[in-house]
Amino acid sequence: AVLARYPDCLLQRDDIKGQIPLHVACVENNDGTEMIQLLLLEGVKKNVGGLFGAGGLYVKDNKGNTPLSQLIQCMNNPFAWDSELVTLCVRVAFEASQSQMMDGLQEMDQSMHDQQPEVSIHFPILHEAMKIASPDSFYRIIEIVKDYDVELSGTDRRGRTALIQAIYLNDEERVQQNVGGFGSKLQYTRKISTKEIISMIVSTVQSNCGKNRDGAGRLPLHIATELGLRWDEGICDIVYANRHGLKERHCVTGLYSFMTAAAVSDADLGTIYKLLRAKPMFAKKRTNVVRIIAAGGGDESSDNEESIIGSTLSFRKPVHGPIIPNSTWDTEDSESSENTKATLKSTESISIIGIDK
């Protein structure tokens, strides 16, 4: 009756905290599932929170708290966990996002629609939960979310999936602390490590979340190595979720993931080594030809040499090669190839791989 008489009350904020009624309902949720459901459904009709606002679920107060974040804070208490209430919020948020997405598609020209292979859905439930939820609460929320978003491909306003947002967490927290000055505190103290978040996202669902790219076309593995994430901080789980990503180049730099990991300012040798070990073919260089032939491991005919060279990964030629008299490392030049073969025959006694004459 109150909502029917005062429909704008859903948008009214208090003067102290800047909260809407849904904020209060999510904090004072003593058997208030029906009240929250009423506010959410009416909020969707009144477009509370604007586009993809989910009926006010993502509206921030003066401190940046949303009704969703307040609800998750309450759910961190295992004795206060309410699966029905969390499922209600997830369902309403998903249905609201689906409805907005379908409305947007209908407004698009059909020809433009055919050119777009995929449209992401604004569904940042996990993005919010990973910052404040306890490990147990976060795992339960994932179990509920995956019933609606199987691939966990829902994005936030920046087009990041939950996995990509987890990769950014450490970097974003460092930036917030630097902006706030020395000794400044974050709004929430995260209760789950980046490694745990990534591991739960990747292992909880059998999906292609490791293959979902960001708006720039980067894979999660590319972003993780670019931000300096280490093997034990979650890269290992990302690699196992999409091992084929090791063979793909960065869409901007053209580097493989192990190269990107080596290019960051605080590069970790262990991470580089394990990325190479996960795909050993990257560790092969053209110098393997010298080692194989000098060790007598194969026929020295030109056909065999070409097959060995063809099976190795093509790297940029080094500026300075090993010092071998009258030799060259340009295997693509016919004249230099003859010089290399002649040199190899005259230097078989050289202990290149630990084999003496």
- Please report, for the chain, the start and end positions of each structural domain, with discontinuous segments joined by +: 284-346
Which residues are bridge partners to 122 per DSSP? 155
pLDDT single digits (tens) 124-165: 999 999 999 999 999 999 999 999 998 888 899 888 999 999
Q: What pLDDT shows up at residue 292? A: 43
Burial class (CB in 10 A: 0-12, 13-18, 19+), 315: exposed
Q: Does the pLDDT value for residue 286 go beyond 50?
A: no
The residue among 133 and 295 whose pLDDT is bigger is 133
Q: Which of 238-252, 266-280, 283-297 has the lowest mean pLDDT?
A: 283-297
Work out the pLDDT band at 208, boundaries 50, 70, 90.
Answer: confident
Q: What is the DSSP string of 48-113?
A: TTSTT-GGGTT---TTS--HHHHHHHHHTSGGG--HHHHHHHHHHHHHHHHHHHHHHHHHS-HHHH
In sequence order, the 6+-apart residues with CB closer than 8 A to the CB of 334 are none
Q: Find the mean pLDDT for residues 309-328.
A: 38
**Do 245 and 239 form a contact (C-beta atoms < 8 A)?**
yes
Q: Find the mean pLDDT for residues 224-235.
A: 94
pLDDT single digits (tens) 86-121: 999 999 999 888 876 665 555 555 545 555 545 668
**Where are the extended beta strands (E) located within 134-291?**
none
The mean pLDDT of the chain is: 75
Work out the pLDDT band at 270, boundaries 50, 70, 90.
Answer: very high
**Do 144 and 83 form a contact (C-beta atoms < 8 A)?**
yes
Q: What pLDDT shows up at residue 141? A: 94
pLDDT single digits (tens) 165-184: 999 998 888 887 776 554 44
Work out the pLDDT band at 332, boundaries 50, 70, 90.
Answer: very low
**Do 210 and 238 form a contact (C-beta atoms < 8 A)?**
yes
Work out the pLDDT band at 186, boundaries 50, 70, 90.
Answer: low
Sign of torsion, CA 65 68 73 74? positive
Q: What are phi and psi of 286, to 5 degrees?
A: -70, -20
Q: Does the pLDDT value for residue 274 go beyond 90?
A: yes
Q: Which of 49-63, 280-294, 303-317 has the lowest mean pLDDT?
A: 303-317
Based on its alpha-carbon atoms, the radius of gyration of the chain, rounded to whole angstroms, reads 28
State the helix-helix crossing angle for 194-204 and 162-180, rounded to 10 degrees. Answer: 160
Q: What is the pTM of this model?
A: 0.72
Q: Find the mean pLDDT for residues 41-57.
A: 84
Tokens 């003859």, located at residue: 338
CA distance linking residue 71 with residue 82, whole number of Å: 10
In sequence order, the 6+-apart residues with CB closer than 8 A to the CB of 286 are 309, 312, 315, 329, 331
